[in-house]
Amino acid sequence: MSGLFISFEGPEGAGKSTQLRRLAARLAAGGHPHLLTREPGGTDIGDKLRSLVLDTRSHLTAMTEFLIYSGSRAQLVQEVIRPALGRGELVVCDRYVDSSYAYQGYGRGLDLAQLRAVSAAATGGLMPDLTFLLDIDPETGLARAARVGEPDRIERAGLDFHWRLKRGFLELAAQEPKRFVVLDATRDPDALEADIWAAVSERLSEN
Residues at the binding site for ATP are: 10-17
Return d(Cα 48, Cα 136) in angstroms, integer. 29
- Return the number of other C-beta atoms located less than 10 Å from residue 42's C-beta: 23
**Torsion 175-179-185-188 (CA) sign:** positive
Return d(Cα 71, Cα 86) in angstroms, integer. 22
Q: Which residues are annotated as a binding site?
A: 10-17
Q: Are 83 and 76 in contact (CB under 8 A)?
A: no
Q: Are 50 and 153 in contact (CB under 8 A)?
A: no
